[in-house]
Structure formats: structure tokens, C-alpha cells
Amino acid sequence: MAFTSTVLTVTTGSTETVHDLTRDCERFLADAAPGRDGLLHLFVPHATAGLAILETGAGSDDDLLTALHHLLPPDDRWQHRHGSPGHGRDHVLPALIPPYATIPVLNGRMELGTWQSVCLVDTNKDNPERKVRLSFLG
């Protein structure tokens, strides 16, 4: 058994985004787990971002942001009040889109479905830079 870890810095900018991390994960595993089996764990140490596994590029990423707008409207109804108007919703996001994900790794590759991608979900327009910790255990 071995454990290795690294931290990615991701610039998400000043708009809500679903940022695909799949290639970053693949590069990490190429160095950390060539030909090995184990688990890839991702963690976002932020109170206003999460990780999701979903299809991207065919509209699902935009659909997710639209669904979040319906579930968590960016207005002033939230008790948590600081930052941009509606920022309180960003602090509720990790209860729906968790700040962690664990993916099986076989022979050095993530066992994702054909259309699945690993994504950072960030609705917080006040924080343009995020950290994502990638850890491999195997």
C-alpha cells in the first residue's frame, strides 16, 4: 500500500462554473499510480464548492447550474449574508454537491463510465481560485 497526494490550483473566475478535472486526475494517476489498483480521492477544502461526476460538453454541465439556480436561488432569502447578493446559497451547495469524491482505480486508470467526468462545481463568484486535493491510495 502506498499513499500520495497533491493539490491542484484551479482558477474558476467570476462566473458560476462546472470545471472538468478529469485530465488533471489522469495526469496525477499517470505519475502516482502507473499500472496500480486503488482509490483516487478528491477533496475541495472550501465551504462553497463541491465535486460531481457527470457528463460534460453535451449541456449537462449547464443543466446542473440551471438546476442549482432553481434549488438554490441566488437572491437575498438566505440567513448567511456576506459577499455578493445571494452568496448564502453558495454555503448550502456542499450539502447537495459534496466537497469530496472517491473513484476506483484499476491498472492506473479511473473506472469512470463512458460519458462520466470528474468536475469541480463552483457557484461562488467571490472566490476565483480554488484548491483541489487529489490523493491516491493503492
Given this model, what pLDDT does residue 16 score?
94
Q: What is the pLDDT of residues 71-113, one digit of tens each?
A: 999 998 999 888 888 899 999 999 999 999 999 999 999 999 9
Q: Over the stretch 50-61, which tens digit does the pLDDT of each residue have?
A: 999 999 989 999
Under a CB-based contact definition with an 8 Å cutoff, are residues 44 and 134 in contact? no
- What's the DSSP call for residue 103? E
Q: Dump pLDDT digits (tens) for 13-39.
A: 999 999 999 999 999 999 999 999 999
Instruction: Please state at what angle helix 60-71 crosses helix 88-96, rounded to 10 degrees.
Output: 120
Residue 123: per-residue pLDDT: 94
For 8-12, the CB contacts below 8 A with 24+ separation are 8/131, 8/132, 8/133, 8/134, 9/129, 9/130, 9/131, 10/120, 10/129, 10/130, 10/131, 10/132, 11/128, 11/129, 11/130, 12/49, 12/120, 12/122, 12/127, 12/128, 12/129, 12/130
pLDDT, one tens digit per residue, over 2-16 is 999 999 999 999 999
The burial class, CB within 10 Å (0-12 / 13-18 / 19+), for 89 is: buried
Count of helices and strands (H, E) across the chain: 3, 8
Q: How far apart are CA 91 and CA 78, in angstroms?
A: 10
Q: What is the pLDDT of residue 86?
A: 85
Domains and CATH numbers, the chain: 3-137 (2.60.120.460)
